[in-house]
Amino acid sequence: MAEITGIFPQWGQAPEPLWREVLGRRLRALRADRDETLAQTAERAGISPQYLSEIERGRKEPSSEMIAALAGALDTTLADLTLAVTEDLRRLSRVGAGSRAAISRAAGAGVAGLSRPAATRTPAPPVALAMAA
């Protein structure tokens, strides 16, 4: 029951987007920015195009190893990808959780910045991660 109240903070409110949904939208935006097909990106990451499609649609929750492989296939780092998804989630919490259109806009914002060479990236502030008990 605690899970349900965490997802639906107040009765009648739209649910917050899940990490896997926002991650999937971000991955799809990165792939589209490179003008690549599912098959091209999936091949470089070592997964099937069907599985990549499921991840991009937020249907599957990939392992950390799979996320790292996808980040590498899209010429970004796991740290940069994670930071971008976290920023998308923060933006979404400000504009109204659960809005599919807001998720798409947030995932598409600043995609080009993720694929810049390391020398031109500005250092990201440290991110503290915490797990709920």
Kindly report which listed range (76-80, 84-88, 128-132) carries the lowest average pLDDT score. 128-132
Query: For residue 16, what pLDDT band results from cuts at 50, 70 and 90?
Result: confident
Taking all residues of the chain, what is their mean pLDDT, rounded to a whole number?
77
Residue 28, pLDDT > 60, answer yes
As a whole-number percent, the residues of the chain with pLDDT over 90 amount to 55
CATH classification code of 15-110: 1.10.260.40
Annotate 61-128 with DSSP letters as a single string: ---HHHHHHHHHHTT--HHHHHHHHHHHHHHHHHH-TT-HHHHHHHHHTTHHHHTS-GGGSPPPPP--
Query: For residue 101, what pLDDT band results from cuts at 50, 70 and 90?
Result: low
Query: For residue 92, what pLDDT band results from cuts at 50, 70 and 90?
Result: confident
Query: For residue 107, what pLDDT band results from cuts at 50, 70 and 90?
Result: low
Structure confidence by residue, pLDDT tens digits, 40-69: 999 999 999 999 999 999 999 999 999 999
Say whether 23 sits in a helix, a strand or coil.
helix
Q: Where do we find the tokens 């599985």?
A: 51
* Model pLDDT, residue 130: 42
